[in-house]
């Protein structure tokens, strides 16, 4: 499904099928489902709109099908219709509770409302359906990646390690339904734990394998890998290498600005460039990179925006805070860090090992923000077979 060319070809076949038989429910469902990866690859809102229409047509023709509700939930979430997305996911579960995709759609809708809308309890609500999806289909790579992304965001690394090790093993095997990016996620956990020797080969693997792959997330995850390599080099104290990696991430994003969420890596890398320029004494370049990153984050005037792992507002606000920290701008740093907290960030492992915060992390204001962040919500552990989230 995530192959760029294969999805495009299959979409045209389904279009032909519904032209021949406008009452063919399965063909409408197939067309709608394939417009999801097509949107990820194209970034065109019209693909979402067409997908919604196709899926609604399929449901009108055959209300018993659960599959269309799965993809409708995804598309509603991308349109920021979070309540409708969650309702569609519940409808999918009601019709096909044995489908891992039904449960995954509920988790994804909950994550979207949590990290984009700042409804942090929804991040916790996403874990049980992710576990159920993984229990039904252990080869379903996205469940482990999304769970790992949420555990990283909340700083719960013991839990993150469990699910990301599963994701990395699946990605290395090339079997199952592969999302791409778990190498970078696992490298991030290693980096933020100051385990640089373990992070480096995973980043090398991502940087060498992702570019050029026939996968809708290839370019976005390659940009993520370059960004994370820049952070890794900052931890290693190699400012020139960090700058080169941040520039590589920006260049990749600029060449593929239609790829979903790639703009977040451009923005984070601009904040990285603000840090590296300041460290080498070029305040003017630092000022420019910082302003570019902040303007893009605020206006979203280019790129196709939406959450995937490593691409949330919390991630961007944290990197802005780190840039201000390097520049000695305490007030601006605290403001950006507070914004990150409001969007779900609570990764004190990251903060405690980030060289950008070397002079600020022990300040009481920073520690108070960290304590506030952790208190917002605690995610359940990745144990059991999951299910519907509790209402508490």
Q: Is the pLDDT of residue 8 over 70?
A: no
Average pLDDT, the chain: 93
CA dihedral (122, 189, 172, 258) in degrees, to 10, reads 60
**Any domain includes 266:** yes
Total number of domains constituting the chain: 1
Q: Which residue, among 194, 258, 184, has the nearest Cα to 227 in the 3D structure?
A: 184
**Any domain includes 282:** yes
Domain range for residue 283?
193-379
Separation CA 112–CA 109 (nearest Å): 5
Contact 290, 270 (CB under 8 A): yes
The tens digit of pLDDT for each residue in 169-205 reads 999 998 878 989 999 999 999 999 999 999 999 999 9
State the CATH number of the domain containing residue 237.
Answer: 1.25.40
> CA 158 → CA 184, 248, 326, distances in Å?
17, 31, 29
Instruction: Tokens for 62, please give them.
Output: 């055959």
Q: Is the pLDDT of residue 4 over 60?
A: no
Q: Is the pLDDT of residue 1 over 60?
A: no
In the block, tokens 């090992």 appear at 353
**Any domain includes 307:** yes
Distance, C-alpha 88 to centroid of its chain: 21
Q: Is the pLDDT of residue 281 over 50?
A: yes
If pLDDT is split at 50, 70 and 90, which confidence band does 7 have? low
Distance, C-alpha 293 to centroid of its chain: 18
Query: What pLDDT is attached to residue 142?
Result: 95
**Any domain includes 125:** no
Query: What pLDDT is attached to residue 46?
Result: 86
Q: Is the pLDDT of residue 327 over 80?
A: yes
Read off the pLDDT of each residue in 324-341 and give the average, rounded to a whole number: 98
Q: 3-state SS of 366-384? A: HHHHHHHHHHHCCCCCCCC
| Highest-scoring range by mean pLDDT, 49-53, 58-62, 117-121 | 117-121
Read off the pLDDT of each residue in 347-359 and give the average, rounded to a whole number: 97
Read off the pLDDT of each residue in 80-104 and give the average, rounded to a whole number: 95
**Any domain includes 254:** yes
Contact 288, 323 (CB under 8 A): no
Percentage of the chain modeled with pLDDT above 70? 97
**Any domain includes 30:** no
Residues 362-380, buried b or exposed e (16+ Cβ, 10 A)? Answer: eeeebeebbeebbebbebb
If pLDDT is split at 50, 70 and 90, which confidence band does 321 have? very high
Q: How many CB atoms lie within 10 A of CB 210?
A: 24
**Any domain includes 184:** no
What is residue 259's three-state secondary structure? Answer: coil
Separation CA 379–CA 124 (nearest Å): 5
- Phi then psi dihedrals of residue 260, to 5 deg: -55, 125
Separation CA 36–CA 20 (nearest Å): 23
**Any domain includes 220:** yes
Q: Return the H-helix or E-strand segment holding 264.
A: helix 262-279
Q: Which residue, among 345, 249, 256, has the nearest Cα to 289 in the 3D structure?
A: 249
If pLDDT is split at 50, 70 and 90, which confidence band does 279 have? very high
Percentage of the chain modeled with pLDDT above 90? 78
Q: Kindly give, in sequence order, each residue whose CB lies less than 8 Å from that of residue 40, ignoring residues fewer than 6 positions away.
A: 2, 216, 217, 259, 260
Which range among 25-39, 47-61, 178-192, 239-253 shows the weakest confidence by mean pLDDT?
25-39
The tens digit of pLDDT for each residue in 201-251 reads 999 999 999 998 988 899 999 999 999 999 999 999 999 999 999 999 999
Query: What pLDDT is attached to residue 392?
Result: 46
Q: How many CB atoms lie within 10 A of CB 94?
A: 11
């Amino acid at each position: 499904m995530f192959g760029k060319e294969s999805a495009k070809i299959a979409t045209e076949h389904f279009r032909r099928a519904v032209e021949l038989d406008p009452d063919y429910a399965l063909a409408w469902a197939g067309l709608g489902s394939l417009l999801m990866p097509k949107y990820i690859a194209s970034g065109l809102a019209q693909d979402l709109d067409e997908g919604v229409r196709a899926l609604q047509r399929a449901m009108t023709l055959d209300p018993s099908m659960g599959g269309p509700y799965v993809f409708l939930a995804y598309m509603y979430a991308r349109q920021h219709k979070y309540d409708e997305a969650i309702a569609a996911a519940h409808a999918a579960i009601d019709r096909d509770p044995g489908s891992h995709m039904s449960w995954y759609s509920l988790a994804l809708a909950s994550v979207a409302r949590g990290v984009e809308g700042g409804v942090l309890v929804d991040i916790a609500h996403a874990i049980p359906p992710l576990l159920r999806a993984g229990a039904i289909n252990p080869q379903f790579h996205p469940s482990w990646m999304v769970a790992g992304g949420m555990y990283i965001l909340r700083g719960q690394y013991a839990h993150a390690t469990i699910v990301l090790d599963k994701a990395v093993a699946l990605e290395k095997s090339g079997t199952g339904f592969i999302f791409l990016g778990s190498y970078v996620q696992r490298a991030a956990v290693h980096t933020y734990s100051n385990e640089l020797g373990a992070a480096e080969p995973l980043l090398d693997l991502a940087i060498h394998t992702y570019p050029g792959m026939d996968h809708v997330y290839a370019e976005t995850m390659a940009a993520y890998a370059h960004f994370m390599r820049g952070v890794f080099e900052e931890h290693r104290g190699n400012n020139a290498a960090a700058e080169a990696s941040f520039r590589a991430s920006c260049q990749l994003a600029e060449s593929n600005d239609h790829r979903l969420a790639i703009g977040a890596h451009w923005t984070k890398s601009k904040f990285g460039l603000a840090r590296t320029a300041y460290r080498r004494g070029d305040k003017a370049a630092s000022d420019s990179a910082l302003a570019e990153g902040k303007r893009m984050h605020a206006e979203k005037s280019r790129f196709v925006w939406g959450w995937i792992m490593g691409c949330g507002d919390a991630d961007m606000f944290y990197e802005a805070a780190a840039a201000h920290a390097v520049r000695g701008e305490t007030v601006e740093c605290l403001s950006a860090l507070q914004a990150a907290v409001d969007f779900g960030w609570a990764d004190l492992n990251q903060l405690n090992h980030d060289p950008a915060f070397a002079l600020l992390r022990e300040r009481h204001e920073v520690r108070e923000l960290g304590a506030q962040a952790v208190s917002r919500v605690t995610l359940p552990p990745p144990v059991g077979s999951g299910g519907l989230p509790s209402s508490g």
